[in-house]
Amino acid sequence: MAAPGPRLRLAVAAALLLLAGAQALAPSHRLTGRDLARLRAALERPFADLQAAFHSIVGLSNLGVRVADEKAACNFIKSNVDSSSVDSLFYAAQSIQVLSGCEVTVSNETRELLLGAVSEDSSVTQIFHAVGALSGFGLPLASQEALSALTARLSKEESVLATIQALETASYLSQQADLSGIVEEIEDLVARLDDLGGVYLQFEEGIETTALFVAATYKLSDHVGTEPAVKEDQIIQLMNAIFSKKNFETLSEAFSVACAAGSLSRNRYHLPVIIVPDGPAAVSHHQPVLRLQVTNVMSQPLTQASVKLDYAKSASTKATVLQQTAFALSGDTFELNFMNVKPASGYYDFSISVDGDKRFISNKVELKVKVSTEVGITNVDLSTVDKDQSIAPKTTRVVYPAKAKGSFTADSHQNFALSFQLIDVNSGAELIPHQTFVRLHNQKTGQEVVFVAEPDSKNVYKFELDTSERKTEFDSASGTYTLYLIVGDATLENPILWNVADVVIKFPEEDAPSTVQSKNLFVPKPEIQHLFREPEKRPPTVVSNTFTALILSPLLLLLILWIKIGANISNFSFAPSTIIFHMGHAAMLGLMYVYWTQLNMFQTLKYLAILGGVTFLAGNRMLAQKAVKRTH
């Protein structure tokens, strides 16, 4: 196949671009109630050490949950804090910020230790922990110096984690310092994200790093007052990646996801909105209201928002049935009674937008809503139509769900016909469902044949059974068949299986199978007799024997001729070489005969080599002698 021409490629690329621009990415993952419970359970483990305590306490606070026993937690921190370790001090300081009424006294030495850690010589992690601890304990900090140390150190450590920690550190520093350098790192980090299929965006270091990045970005942006340099689609992709992880292997991973969830549900700039239907997106007369859950990433309902239906179009006809209608808030969900506009059954494309807060992102969504209805069968006429058109067709009307009385016959003189109409019970409109089948079931043999009933131009379904046309489907098995009508569709709430009537079908006798053939595939098949290769035709033995005798006659002729010519054998000298030569030659001829009857090529060659060698030497001698004799 030739490669598509450049013009076609351009068209495809343009179409893709249009599609990409037209539809913003919708969030594919979020923290449902169950996910939140799992996250909470992961964080609510008993504290193993101070770092674990920090992860649990601060993680839970990000989810908006308080620790179960705050006093015990406070005591744990106080007893486990190590005043000589900057990390330990950081965990303690951050944890007590969350717990109410928890104080840790900080000695001067500790303070000196922390201040000393804020220098170019410490790693970024050390600087981060020191600044965080100082801020957590409420100790004064020289922001400008800290910033310069941080910037200097960051230029040496290029890793993603170090940069994220730098972002967090900057969020503790005073706004007097010029934090724009650090803020620019956000953009650089965004460039380092990996795009997976256009749906996910994450660092190659993993989900934990990605989640920490999101939390740090919003923390810093809120602190500085600048919108983070992340595009809306990128935020959605980050969300998808972070919340795709439902099981957490380590406490720090759970902590990072909790921080990300917390920051995405309450920051000053971007609030992703999740719009999902409550239950299946389907309405019907029994269930006319479409319910939507409009929440943030932590499945907390955004009851302040205003939810509006931009338009609702029929998926098949693309006609707009409703537009610019508001959803009403009912408890935690937003609802709309769609059946008020009396839509025909089928699928509809809904475009819904959520407003109310400038920070909302991914607040437009496209939804496919199914409108179901119930089907009714009317004007069901069963008739036998005479093939010769001489007798008027006999028509019987049947009403669903009754069965027709008496049976109908279809044979070589008359066809059986069925016609009916399908309507929407609620609106009275004609329906064309996906499945309208007529099933004929042979009561004796268990055979069944299914036909499709087709609607004509007036949407009246017709089915006609002509025995001569259809005998192959039935295997010409005559008998009484039960006729069923099957109607089904995705948008029907009441699929129908209706035993309409009994039909006696008679096929012409000569076509009837001798026995009822059950199509059993697993019986032994008839044995195949192997046909051996026929031997070639040979002439009769008499002929070939005659020919053999005939062939020997030229030999006779030769001998006679030789005698006549006077072949000279008088010069036969009885020298040893002559005798050996002739004997050797005779032996070679004998060998040829033996080869024909018994030996194979290799054995023959072996013997031939020996005999031939002998004969050659003898013959050479003999001929040489002859030559000498000749020349003399």
Partner 1 sequence: MSGAAGSGSGSGAGAAGSVGSVVRRFLVEYGSGTPSRLKVLDAYLLYVLLTGALQFGYCLGVGTFPFNSFLSGFISAVGSFILGVCLRIQINPQNKGEFQGISPERAFADFLFANTILHLVVINFVG
Name the residue nearer to partner 1 (CB basis): 311 or 595: 595
Cβ contacts of 595 within 8 Å, gap of 6 or more: 601, 603, 604
Find the part of the chain contacting partner 1 (CB under 8 A) among 119-127, 210-218, 383-391, 584-592: 584-592
Is it true that the peptide bond before 401 is cis, omega within 30 degrees of 0?
yes
Name the residue nearer to partner 1 (CB basis): 48 or 572: 572
The two three-digit tokens of residue 20, written as one number:
């990409």
Name the residue nearer to partner 1 (CB basis): 115 or 623: 623
104 binds partner 1 (CB under 8 A): no
Q: Please, what is the minimum distance in Å from the beta carbon of residue 536 to partner 1?
A: 4
Q: Please, what is the minimum distance in Å from the beta carbon of residue 558 to partner 1?
A: 4
Cβ contacts of 172 within 8 Å, gap of 6 or more: 131, 132, 134, 135, 141
Q: How far apart are CA 200 and CA 235, in angstroms?
A: 10
Is-contact 248 257, C-beta < 8 A? Answer: yes
565 binds partner 1 (CB under 8 A): yes
Is-contact 596 579, C-beta < 8 A? Answer: no
Residues 534-563 that bind partner 1 (CB under 8 A): 536-539, 543-544, 547, 550-551, 554-555, 557-558, 561-562
Q: Please, what is the minimum distance in Å from the beta carbon of residue 556 to partner 1?
A: 9
Cβ contacts of 549 within 8 Å, gap of 6 or more: none
Cβ contacts of 363 within 8 Å, gap of 6 or more: 273, 275, 353, 354, 355
Find the part of the chain contacting partner 1 (CB under 8 A) among 195-203, 366-374, 413-421, 601-609: 601-609
Location of structure tokens 């009912």: 330
517 binds partner 1 (CB under 8 A): no
Q: How far apart are CA 341 and CA 196, in angstroms?
A: 42
Taking 3-state DSSP, the helix, strand and coil percentages for the chain, each rounded to the nearest 5, stand at 40, 25, 35
621 binds partner 1 (CB under 8 A): no
Find the part of the chain contacting partner 1 (CB under 8 A) among 96-104, 213-221, 248-256, 621-629: 621-629
Number of other CB atoms surrounding residue 540 within 10 Å = 8
Is-contact 170 214, C-beta < 8 A? Answer: no
Name the residue nearer to partner 1 (CB basis): 387 or 621: 621
Q: Please, what is the minimum distance in Å from the beta carbon of residue 508 to partner 1?
A: 53
620 binds partner 1 (CB under 8 A): yes
Name the residue nearer to partner 1 (CB basis): 455 or 612: 612
Strands of 407-410's sheet in order across: 407-410, 496-505, 479-488, 435-442, 448-452
Find the part of the chain contacting partner 1 (CB under 8 A) among 136-144, 370-378, 447-455, 589-597: 589-597
Is-contact 58 89, C-beta < 8 A? Answer: no
Find the part of the chain contacting partner 1 (CB under 8 A) among 137-145, 413-421, 493-501, 616-624: 616-624
Closest CA to 451 of 437, 468, 469: 437
Name the residue nearer to partner 1 (CB basis): 318 or 538: 538
Q: Please, what is the minimum distance in Å from the beta carbon of residue 589 to partner 1?
A: 8
Name the residue nearer to partner 1 (CB basis): 3 or 555: 555
What is the DSSP-derived secondary structure letter of residue 269?
A: S
586 binds partner 1 (CB under 8 A): no
456 binds partner 1 (CB under 8 A): no
- The secondary structure element, H or E, covering residue 608 is helix 601-631
Binding site for partner 1 (CB under 8 A): 536-539, 543-544, 547, 550-551, 554-555, 557-558, 561-562, 565-568, 585, 588, 592, 595-596, 601, 604, 608, 612, 616, 619-620, 623-624, 626-627, 630
